[in-house]
Amino acid sequence: MRDLADYSLKDWLGAAPLAHRLRRARNLLVDRIYARRPAPGQAALVARLKAQGAPALAFTVAFNMPEAIALLAEAMGRFLPHTPLVVCDNSTDPAARAAIAAFCAERDLAYCPLPPSPYRGGRNGSRSHAVALNWIWANLVRKVAPPVVALLDHDLIPLAADNLPTRVAAQPCYGMARHGEGNGAWYLWPGFSVFNYAAVKGLPLDFGTDTPLTLDTGGQNWTVLYRRLDRTALAFAETRTVFVADPGTGTGEDHLLVDGWLHAGGAGHGTRGRAFDTVARAFAADPDGLLGQLRAGADATTASGAAT
């Protein structure tokens, strides 16, 4: 939240501080009510994850795209086989939810059907994602207490091995930083963020949005965690734009590469699109060599731009 001293006279005359705090109170109430709702098989899942004793757990919020979960699971199995993937299903489409549950059962993936979202029907995707993450943190992460917790978008796939525990061995969190507009606030994108659980377990983490600070899902953790950290002492994920070409046609478009993780895109709102299909085909064609191709292409583009 914005500090009261940061509001202008115009803001005060328009009652912006009161409106912002009322909306925040409403969101907190919704989150707390939702976090108390149980999910089918929740206790058994917690017991399973505890018994595994993995050094890191990766949680993803599935949303209406079984294809995205299938691609993420395949890539995780190839490049991070010792990091269990926990699929937390926030799908609003019953057919998609059934397909994701069946896929996870077939592959023996940890699966949690989240309670129906208070933002179902496609209303306010950022808030829907936020309440799902807060439910996961309260009901799975805190109960299992894994050494390292990773939060991944359902359409973000690894293209190389990644040792997540080393990312947070010397700092409480790691990921891709996003910034507010003109206010100095920042947060880690919950599509790729890693936490040292021992370092943050005592904090009331909140993955809600912070609209007054122009921070999207995960932005409430600016107040809880990030503003207390020395940014200059932290390592962050390297991000770059890469062109992903369809192996059959050569056509494609730009995508985000975060370290060695590719954001497939086209699945953010639970609808399959051309961008996602292009990434899926490129990965299927050369899963072990795709990262090198993308980096080489980006480097060549950079060198060409510098030459001109």
Longest dimension (CA), the chain: 60
Strands 186-196 and 261-263: unpaired
Looking at every residue in the chain, the average pLDDT score rounds to 89
Q: Which domain holds residue 255?
A: 239-307
DSSP 8-state class, residue 1: -
Q: Say if 16 falls within a structural domain.
A: no
Claim to verify: residue 214 and residue 270 sit in the same structural domain: no
Q: What is the CA radius of gyration of the chain?
A: 20
Q: Say if 196 falls within a structural domain.
A: yes
Q: Say if 163 falls within a structural domain.
A: yes
Claim to verify: residue 220 and residue 244 sit in the same structural domain: no
Question: pLDDT for 248-290, tens place per residue?
Answer: 999 899 999 999 999 997 555 555 578 899 999 999 999 999 9
pTM (two decimals) = 0.89
Question: pLDDT for 146-201, tens place per residue?
Answer: 999 999 999 999 999 999 999 999 999 999 999 998 888 999 999 999 999 999 99
Q: Is 196 helix (H, G, I), strand (E, B) or coil?
A: strand
Claim to verify: residue 141 and residue 251 sit in the same structural domain: no
Q: CA–CA separation, 287 vs 155, rounded Å?
A: 15
Classify residue 240 as exposed, middle or buried by CB count within 10 Å of its CB (0-12, 13-18, 19+): middle
Q: Say if 143 falls within a structural domain.
A: yes
Claim to verify: residue 249 and residue 168 sit in the same structural domain: no
Mean of the pLDDT values across residues 8-29?
60
Claim to verify: residue 245 and residue 218 sit in the same structural domain: no
Claim to verify: residue 217 and residue 252 sit in the same structural domain: no
Claim to verify: residue 224 and residue 260 sit in the same structural domain: no
Among 178, 210, 233, the domain boundary falls at: 233
Q: Say if 32 falls within a structural domain.
A: no
Number of domains in the chain: 2
